[in-house]
Structure formats: structure tokens, C-alpha cells
Amino acid sequence: MEPDFFFLLPVIPALSSAVFKYYTEGPPKRSWDLKFHLTLALIKTNYRFMKLPVEQVQKIADKFTIKVPSNIIVKDVILDEEYKRKSITHLEKILKQYEDVLDEKWKKSNDGGLHGEWAHANKDDNVVLYLHGGAFRAGTSKNARTITFKLAELANSRVFTPSLRLAPQNQFPAALCDAIAAYLYLINPGPEAGFDPINPKKIVLSGDSSGGNLVFALLLFLRDAGLPLPVILFTNQSTTFSSHDTQSPWTDLTHSMPSMWTAELDKIDTLPSKLGFFDIGAPSPAWEEYLVATKALAEKIALKKPTIVSHPSFTEVPRFQLYCANEALAIPYVRQVHQPYLKNFVQVGGDERLRDETILTSYKAANPREYQLPSYATKNFEKSPFKNPTKVILEVYDDMPHGWHLLTFSEPSKIALERCSDFIKRVTSIEDNNISMIDLVKEDLVSPSISVSSSFIAMRINTNGEIRELNETDKDCLKWDKIGIVPKET
């Protein structure tokens, strides 16, 4: 099941020559074979189409898909507006303290409702709620199929993927609102859904890149709103622990970590080193609407003078995220790099720009008292009742750039998706609430040479699937003293 990238060749004539340039230069990593290298080269050169009008970018991205194989059954659905209305009601209560920095348009109804897609191979009891990536500005359930079909097959899961609202037309918390609506649809479906309520113990949240961000945001929100959490393993006086798996989650929208700006990754990673990753693109109706909305929100913020936790660096640069205003960057449902309270199974490439924030997020979740930077976030931590360590499994894949999971023909992708699927099957089969996630996986999924604590497992995995301890340089980011400070681009 390989994605059809080549539909883009006639859209941008320069693509074929750009790919040829990569071909003549050769792979930047010895472990990459030619097919892996050229496919990544095509993905990288495809980012030229980000200069097109944003509406056109979204339409082109929607064509990034794969055909439905014979072993997968797919069903399209449109969720009743009731789920979104309930989601809005919950969100309004939680986000009231942040309303001065939010564009209120997120509360408006979708055109045509919230679309989603069910996929399954063998219909098991467990369900994966998959939140697609796309930097919040592109993507649908159909172009997430590269991963969702594999999870359906390998984890014997039913996979539900909603097509989330996209920025800049719909800014934070529109996508989160849709994710909440999708979860409410699973645990409390109406009669039109055609299935019984799904036990949260049988639900695992999964997502990649910006979808990984939304997985964290959804879990934090469900906890804060007092809603049932997926895969409840055990509880104590501080929190309820939940399980999810993410692939290269984008948790630091301030772009503050060193790997984001490492020059040697320019020829390796698919993401550019740029605040916000991509500009809005050529002028268009959406572009004009965005400018009007941005100006109105800036005037609202100047008038209200909100006192939410932030950092001076947020406003020392022009707005750079289409997803939210700079003043909203410290909202925990936007940027989760310092949120310590949820179980994680996290995979990240050893040569991608999101590596450092993923490593830091994982270490902090397992050791929340040890990693409390930046100082402006420490205030929140001191007031928080959620200070206990949680369980984390971190896998860093040698030589892998952002998005390597999509290259399902490659051995590293196969290894990563098989390990994701094995995790899903294990956590949804737990009957004893006293069983630790770490104990559940350490014997079969981890090499005996890896050190294992009661709350944390971290490992490097090479392109052949061999496991070892993290590199010492992987931990350099834990000492970084500019965490959460927006850098000034040079």
C-alpha cells in the first residue's frame, strides 16, 4: 500500500528536474536505498506547491491517497451535528480563560458536517481514533490511509479517522473541537451511528505530526473536562492514566528546540527550518479572509490585554502559525511539550526537526519534576495537581526523517508500524487494572540490553530493527535553556 505521490508531477513541471537533482546527488544517509531516497526527494520538492493558494494546496493534498486493498473494508460517514454541539459546550467551559486570544469563528458549523472514515480488516473490539497530520493546514481521512489501513490490518483494529477542519480558514480550537466530537461519537453514538457505545478501555488514540499534537490536546482536554479517558489502566489521587501512540508528534509550536534549526538536517528532513514551517501561499479568497481575521484578532488582543501565561518572545516576531495567534502559543491544548500526565508510546525519527521536542516531551512526562522549563510554564506546574510520573515508551529511529511511516514499502516503516500495532493490541487486551504498561511490553518489545525504569523506556532502533540505548547526544536537548522561547530567524 504505497501512496501515489506522482499525481503531482503534472501540477508542478519543475518537480521532475528537482527529483533528478536529488538522484544525481545520492542519498544523504547510507542506510537509504534509492527508492526511499527518491520518494523522500519527491515529498520534499512537493513542498513547492505550498506557495500556491492555500485552497489549492488543500485540494491537491486531498489527492494524496491510496486505493482500498482487497483486505480492507471502508465506510464513509458524516457525523450528526449533535456531537459537535456537545463538543463546543465542553470547550467553551475549558477555554473561557483563553477566549481573549482566540478567533471565535471555530464555533460555526462545518459546511456539510464532520466527515469521517471507518476502516477495518478483521473486526476486533478495539478501536483506533486516528487524527491525521498536515501541519493543521492540509489533510483528510482519505490521505491518512497509508497509516490507517496498516493499523487496521496489523492491530486487528477498527480505525476511525475524522477529516478535521483546516487552518487558516478554521483556527484553534476548530480541529480540536472536531477531534472531541469524533471521540464523543465513539463513546456515546446516537441511533443513526449503527453501533453500540465503545468502551473507552478499547479505544487508543493515534496520530502523526499535527495529528500527534491533537492526540495530546484531546487527552488533556478529556481529563480536564472530566470525560471518560481511553484505555484506563489505573488511577490514583492525582490523575487517570491513558494510553495512546503517536508518530513524530508536533508538540512545540514555538519552534524553540535545537533540532528544528540544525543545518545538517536540511538535506535529510522533509520539514523546512522556518517559523510556522510554511507561509500561507499566494493571495486568494482564504488569504484575504485570513488577513482580515488576523487583524481583528490582533485588535481584540490589544484591547483586552489578556494575562494568560506567555513569554515576551511570542510578540517579538510577527504571527507565524496559521493555526493560532502568537499570544495563544502557551495554551496547553496548543503546545504540550510541558504537559506531564499521560501515557505515551512515541516514535520519532533520529534525523527529523521534531526530534528534540519529542524526546523532551517524553522525558518530562516520565519525570515531571525534573524538567520544568521554561520558567513561564513552571507557574502552571506548581499549581497543577498532576505531578506524578507517567509511563512512556520512546523509540528514536536511526536516520529517519519526518513522515517515514508513510513509506510503507521500506523496512523502517514496516518495523515502526508493526511495533505501533503490537502496542495497540496489548493495551486494549488488558483486564487487570494493576498491570503496568512498562511490564506489559518490556519483555517482548525491548532488548534485554535496554535499561528500564518503572515509568520510562527509551531506545534507538536501527533500520534493521535492532535495538540499543539512546545516543548520548539525544539527551543534549534536555539541557537546552531556551525551551519555549520563540527564536528570531536569521
How many angstroms separate the CA atoms of 200 and 231, rounded?
Answer: 6
Mean pLDDT of 159-168: 96
Q: Is the pLDDT of residue 275 over 50?
A: yes
**Mean pLDDT, all residues of the chain:** 85
| Whole-Å CA distances, 230 to 24, 96, 130 | 48, 25, 13
**pLDDT tens-place string over residues 298-322:** 999 999 998 887 889 999 999 999 9
Question: In degrees rounded to 5, what are phi and psi of residue 43?
Answer: -60, -45
Candidate list 209, 248, 310, 313, residue with the active-site label? 209
**pLDDT tens-place string over residues 167-220:** 999 999 999 999 999 999 999 998 889 899 999 988 999 999 999 999 989 988
Q: Domain segments of the chain: what residues?
A: 5-64
Cell numbers for 261, please give them.
534549526
DSSP lists the bridge partners of residue 192 as none
How many angstroms separate the CA atoms of 91 and 82, rounded?
Answer: 14
* Whether 323 contacts 165, CB under 8 Å: no
pLDDT of res. 373: 61
Does the model's pTM come out above 0.75?
Answer: yes
pLDDT of res. 233: 42
Mean pLDDT of 312-339: 88
**pLDDT tens-place string over residues 191-205:** 889 899 999 988 999
pLDDT of res. 378: 55
- DSSP string for residues in 265-313: GTTT-SS-SSTTSS---S--HHHHHHHHHHHHHHHHHHHH----S--GG
pLDDT of res. 339: 57
pLDDT of res. 397: 97
**Residue 14 or 427, more confident:** 427
Q: Is 209 a residue of the active site?
A: yes
Q: Is the pLDDT of residue 5 over 80?
A: no
pLDDT of res. 371: 75
pLDDT of res. 61: 82
* Whether 156 contacts 204, CB under 8 Å: no
